[in-house]
């Protein structure tokens, strides 16, 4: 079977590794499997190695060298991310050595610490899971994760040359009805299956749905980067990621690398109904906005980061999500990762859901292919294209049935959290602080739908009054 994966980000590279592991060996007369990744973005050096000023020093910030990258691809925007325990578990199942390599370049967090902009520490909760063996929530630079995944792809199976750096401009049915990808130079390549792992602005999604189901701007933007310097105690000793909520936005930080590298990743999210344009995205504008937004915030770590921010901004990201889709592909096209379900960054689950997609897709496809191959063996008939297409169609349906409800639930939970990251005013802020404090004392309170809905209503009311 020939499979083209469009997009070599987290979803595309991990899917490749999952497929290598699970696809059954085809009997004659089927040809051997051929797996290819087309990736439009040429690799850049690691983002976290920037010579940013010390987080705890007051040395003047260097002049910015360039504008931050504004691109629809989350791979290219740099910045940091955290892989939740469920994502780490998928990696461990895929390959213990891949799991070890990802862990080795990141930082294993044990707690989430919630703080208020006014300086109060509200609560903290474990972010490891309770299963055995347990997994931590591992924070890292996005580029670091990508480099490890890409290295494993290149080192495995037919690895070298599997990732081809070429942009796909269109996806359609080929002459014999098989899916085909078209490149900028006019070249066309057919396959049995084309997987869209090409992010929130997926070209493969256009092949499936035309112009429908465009990404939705969430009235939110964020900025983030890395600073070098001594790690704060809450990060180093408690192994914590810090989430600070204020009336006018949100600020987070945590370690992005092993302790000895002293690299702190940070991000700040704010409400902005108008989509930022490239004019709003110059380093001086971003820096001025950040200073204004967080000027009164009490945490000295945040103030130190902001004082050195001009040299450390590595990403700026208007938040886009994928609207709920009625299916994730047909006719030999299947969508996974952000192409199928770009989630709010607040969910902390985007990358982990990519990994779960890859595992689910490869297991389902392998199941249906095995059936086709077994039937071919039993009847000693030559395998037909129709059988393969049926296996791919069944895979697409089952993948959606298994995965979509889970992803939708995560997205709905994140939407609730997002409401606490915008402009919520003084009263909204107080209510949120109270709730988070209470949540630390009585964790099951978060399960009470009635109470949380009531608090939400109250908060929305205050926002309306304040606005
Ligand atoms: C600011 C921010 C913070 C986040 N934080 C977290 C976090 O802490 N934890 C977490 O789990 N998730 C987080 N996420 C979400 C996570 O980063 C994404 O869910 C994940 O990266 C999606 O991976 P992907 O491979 O599906 O898509 P992408 O990462 O977008 O990769 C798509 C790839 O396809 C390539 N491509 C696109 N179009 C084409 C084309 N036409 N031809 C060829 N190649 C193409 C792109 O260059 C890219 O490499 C965050 C997202 C953002 C924006």
Q: Which helix (H) or strand (E) holds 114?
A: strand 111-116
Q: Is 168 in the pocket of ligand 1 (CB under 6 A)?
A: yes
Our mutation pick for probing the ligand 1 site, out of 8, 75, 413, counting the most ligand atoms within 8 A of Cβ, is: 75
| Banded model confidence at residue 64, pLDDT cuts 50, 70, 90 | very low
Q: Is 7 in the pocket of ligand 1 (CB under 6 A)?
A: yes
Instruction: List residues bridging with 189 in a β-sheet.
Output: 181
Tell me what pLDDT residue 43 has: 66
For residue 275, pLDDT beyond 80:
no
For residue 162, pLDDT beyond 90:
yes
For residue 467, pLDDT beyond 90:
no
How confident is the model over 332-348, as pLDDT tens digits? 999 999 999 999 888 89
| Banded model confidence at residue 418, pLDDT cuts 50, 70, 90 | low
| Banded model confidence at residue 315, pLDDT cuts 50, 70, 90 | low
Q: Is 137 in the pocket of ligand 1 (CB under 6 A)?
A: no
Instruction: Check residues 240 and 30 and name the one with the higher pLDDT.
Output: 240
- CA 396 / ligand 1 centre spacing (Å): 21
Our mutation pick for probing the ligand 1 site, out of 38, 138, 172, 350, counting the most ligand atoms within 8 A of Cβ, is: 350
CA nearest ligand 1 atom 52, residue? 345
How confident is the model over 71-90, as pLDDT tens digits? 444 444 568 999 999 999 99
For residue 354, pLDDT beyond 60:
yes
Lowest mean pLDDT among 69-83, 119-133, 179-193, 205-219: 69-83
Lowest mean pLDDT among 172-176, 221-225, 356-360, 416-420: 416-420
195 in the Ramachandran plot: left (φ > 0), alpha (ψ -120 to 50) or beta? beta
Tell me what pLDDT residue 69 has: 38
For residue 450, pLDDT beyond 90:
no
For residue 212, pLDDT beyond 70:
yes
CA-to-CA dists, residue 196 to 11, 12, 268, 379, 466, angstroms = 9, 8, 30, 34, 43
Strands (E), 277-368: 313-321, 333-335
For residue 117, pLDDT beyond 60:
yes
Q: Which atom of ligand 1 is nearest to the CA of 337?
A: 26
For residue 63, pLDDT beyond 50:
no
The token pair at 35 is 């797996």
Task: Give the whole-angstrom CA distance, residue 188 versus residue 48.
Answer: 37
- CA 459 / ligand 1 centre spacing (Å): 32
For residue 182, pLDDT beyond 90:
yes
For 232, residues 6+ apart whose C-beta sits below 8 A from its C-beta are: 55, 56, 242, 253, 264, 301
Task: Give the whole-angstrom CA distance, residue 320 versus residue 337.
Answer: 14
Instruction: Check residues 327 and 61 and name the one with the higher pLDDT.
Output: 327
Instruction: Check residues 317 and 402 and name the one with the higher pLDDT.
Output: 402
For residue 48, pLDDT beyond 80:
no
Tell me what pLDDT residue 269 has: 82
How confident is the model over 235-274, as pLDDT tens digits? 999 999 999 988 888 899 999 999 999 999 999 887 777 7
Q: Is 192 in the pocket of ligand 1 (CB under 6 A)?
A: no
CB 316 within 8 A of CB 68: yes
Tell me what pLDDT residue 358 has: 98
Name the superfamily (CATH) of residues 2-363+392-420. Answer: FAD/NAD(P)-binding domain (3.50.50.60)
- Mind giving me the DSSP string for 4-52? EEE--SHHHHHHHHHHHHHPPPPPTTSPPPEEEEE-SS-----GGG--P
How confident is the model over 371-399, as pLDDT tens digits? 999 887 666 555 566 688 999 999 999 99
Q: Is 338 in the pocket of ligand 1 (CB under 6 A)?
A: yes
Q: For helices 283-294 and 300-307, give the axis angle rounded to 10 degrees.
A: 160
User: Whole-model pTM?
Assistant: 0.87
The token pair at 346 is 């607040």
């Amino acid at each position: 079977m020939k499979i083209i994966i469009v997009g070599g980000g987290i979803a595309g590279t991990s899917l490749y590794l999952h497929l290598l592991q699970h696809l059954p060996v085809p009997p004659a007369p089927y040809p051997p499997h051929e797996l290819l990744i087309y990736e439009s973005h040429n690799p850049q050096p690691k983002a976290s190695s920037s010579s940013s000023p010390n987080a705890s020093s007051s040395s003047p910030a260097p002049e910015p060298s360039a504008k931050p990258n504004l691109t629809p691809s989350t791979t290219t925007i740099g910045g940091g991310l955290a892989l939740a325990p469920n994502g780490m578990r998928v990696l461990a199942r895929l390959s213990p050595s891949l799991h070890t390599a990802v862990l080795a370049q990141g930082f294993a967090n044990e707690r989430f610490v919630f703080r208020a902009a006014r300086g109060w520490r509200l609560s903290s909760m474990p972010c490891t899971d309770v299963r055995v063996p347990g997994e931590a929530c591992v924070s890292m630079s996005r580029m670091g994760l990508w480099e490890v995944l890409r290295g494993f792809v290149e080192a495995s199976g037919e690895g070298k040359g599997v990732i081809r750096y070429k942009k796909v401009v269109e996806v359609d049915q080929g002459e014999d009805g098989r899916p085909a990808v078209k490149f900028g130079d006019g070249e066309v390549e057919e396959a049995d299956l084309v997987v869209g792992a090409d992010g929130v602005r997926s070209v493969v999604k256009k092949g499936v749905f035309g112009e429908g189901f465009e990404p939705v701007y969430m009235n939110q933007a964020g900025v983030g980067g890395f600073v070098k310097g001594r790690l704060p105690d809450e990060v180093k000793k408690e192994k914590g990621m810090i989430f600070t909520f204020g009336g006018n936005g949100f600020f987070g930080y945590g370690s992005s690398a092993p302790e000895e590298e002293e690299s702190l990743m940070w991000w700040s999210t704010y409400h902005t109904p108008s989509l930022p344009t490239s004019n709003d995205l110059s380093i001086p504008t971003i820096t001025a906005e950040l200073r204004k937004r967080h000027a009164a915030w009490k945490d000295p770590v945040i103030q130190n980061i902001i004082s050195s921010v001009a040299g450390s901004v590595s990403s700026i990201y208007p938040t886009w999500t994928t609207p709920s889709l009625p299916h994730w592909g047909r006719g030999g096209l299947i969508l996974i990762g952000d192409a199928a379900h770009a989630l709010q960054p607040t969910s902390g689950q985007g990358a982990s859901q990519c990994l779960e997609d890859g595992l689910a897709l490869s297991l389902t496809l392998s199941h249906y292919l095995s059936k086709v191959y077994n039937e071919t063996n039993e009847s000693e008939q030559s395998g037909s294209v129709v059988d393969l297409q049926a296996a791919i169609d069944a895979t697409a349906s089952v993948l959606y049935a298994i995965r979509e409800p889970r992803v939708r639930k995560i997205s709905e939970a994140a939407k609730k959290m997002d409401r606490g990251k915008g402009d919520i005013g003084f009263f909204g802020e107080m209510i949120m602080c109270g709730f988070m404090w209470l949540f630390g004392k009585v964790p099951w309170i978060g399960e009470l739908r009635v109470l949380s809905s009531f608090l939400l209503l109250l908060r929305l009311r205050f926002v309306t009054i304040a606005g």
